[in-house]
């Protein structure tokens, strides 16, 4: 008797357990399909974000003739721009691939050149650093090679205007040749000079000066009396007004 009741109880228990198992399995399947849907949805959203990120092209619309017009008639000697006896010198450290450097060149440099360099009050030096990647060295080499034709600044300016995503491989030999050609430079000469010891010396010099001044990011600036001691200029590189104020200060300090 008691054993029969026990076995009936067991059978009922087993049946309930089987039902519970089936229910649990169904729920598990349902949750797995929810996870599958979540994964699919997430993949689509992330894919869209990646596409937006890759398509984000911040190239400037400045042309070679805009760049030529900005520097037209201003003396250049190697990496230096402006009258050699201008009372104040502003040194710019820039990596050709650095987006903030391109931003400075686009937003602030034109007014500095027009208001101070053209007026003979300021001379600038362009110290090109190449820490971002190999493309930086190719472009910087091209810019310094353009110094043989006194167009370092035009070259760098146009290279910034055509800047693409960092280390995407855009800054190759063809990029250098196209800029040289669009600036009416002798492109063959630029290409051959970019591998010259003179250009290498300029790049080494920029790197050593940056190390000595503990420049750890670009763009960075030094300012001071021409031929005198230059000190780091800590300003917002996107703000015209703070640059103008800093140059005015340096001018009044230089007498």
Partner 1 sequence: MSVSPSRAPADRLTLLVALLSFAGLAVAGYLTYVHYAEIDPVCVSGGCERVQASDYAELAGLPVALIGVAGYAAIALSLLARGELGRTATATLSLVGLGFSLYLTYLEVFVIEAICQWCVVSALLMGALTAAAVTRLLRPTAA
What gap in Å lies between CA 210 and CA 216, rounded to an integer?
Answer: 8
Residues 168-227 that bind partner 1 (CB under 8 A): 168, 216-217
Told to check if 7 binds partner 1 by CB under 8 A, we report no
CB of 59 to partner 1, least distance (A): 10
Told to check if 167 binds partner 1 by CB under 8 A, we report yes
Among 31, 72, 172, 198, binds partner 1 (CB under 8 A): 31
Told to check if 88 binds partner 1 by CB under 8 A, we report no
What gap in Å lies between CA 150 and CA 130, rounded to an integer?
Answer: 21
Question: Between 3 and 53, whose beta carbon lies closer to partner 1?
Answer: 53
Query: What is the size of the binding site for partner 1 (CB under 8 A)?
Result: 33
Query: Any residues with CB less than 8 A from the CB of 149 and at least 6 apart, and which?
Result: 185, 186, 189, 190
Among 75, 78, 133, 232, binds partner 1 (CB under 8 A): 133
Among 196, 200, 238, 242, binds partner 1 (CB under 8 A): 238
CB of 239 to partner 1, least distance (A): 9
Q: Map tokens 């949750």 to a residue.
A: 31
What gap in Å lies between CA 183 and CA 177, rounded to an integer?
Answer: 10
What gap in Å lies between CA 30 and CA 9, rounded to an integer?
Answer: 31
Bridge partners of 76, per DSSP, are 81
Query: Any residues with CB less than 8 A from the CB of 173 and at least 6 apart, and which?
Result: 138, 191
Closest CA to 188 of 204, 173, 166: 173
| Contacts with partner 1, residue ranges (CB under 8 A) | 28, 30-32, 34-35, 37-39, 41-43, 45-46, 49-50, 52-53, 56, 58, 98-100, 132-133, 165-168, 216-217, 236, 238
């Amino acid at each position: 008797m008691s054993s029969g009741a026990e076995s009936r109880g067991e059978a009922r228990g087993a049946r309930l357990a089987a039902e519970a198992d089936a229910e649990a399995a169904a729920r598990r399947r349902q949750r797995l399909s929810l996870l599958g849907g979540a994964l699919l949805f997430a993949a689509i959203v992330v894919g869209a974000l990646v596409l937006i990120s890759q398509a984000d092209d911040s190239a400037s619309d400045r042309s070679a003739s805009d760049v030529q017009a900005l520097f037209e008639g201003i003396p250049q000697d190697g990496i230096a721009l402006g009258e050699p006896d201008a009372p104040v010198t502003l040194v710019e450290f820039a990596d050709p691939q650095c987006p903030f450097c391109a931003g400075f060149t686009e937003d602030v440099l034109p007014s500095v050149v027009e208001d101070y360099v053209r007026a003979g009050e300021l001379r600038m030096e362009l110290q090109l650093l190449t820490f971002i990647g190999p493309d930086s060295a190719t472009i910087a080499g091209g810019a310094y090679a353009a110094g043989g034709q006194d167009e370092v600044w035009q070259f760098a300016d146009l290279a910034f205007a055509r800047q693409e995503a960092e280390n995407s491989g855009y800054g190759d030999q063809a990029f250098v040749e196209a800029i040289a050609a669009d600036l009416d430079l002798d492109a063959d000469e630029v290409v051959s000079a970019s591998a010259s010891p003179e250009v290498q010396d300029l790049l080494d010099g920029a790197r050593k000066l940056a190390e000595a001044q503990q420049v750890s990011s670009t763009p960075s600036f030094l300012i001071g009396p021409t031929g005198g001691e230059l000190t780091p200029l800590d300003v917002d590189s996107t703000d015209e007004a703070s640059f103008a104020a800093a140059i005015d200060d340096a001018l009044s300090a230089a007498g």
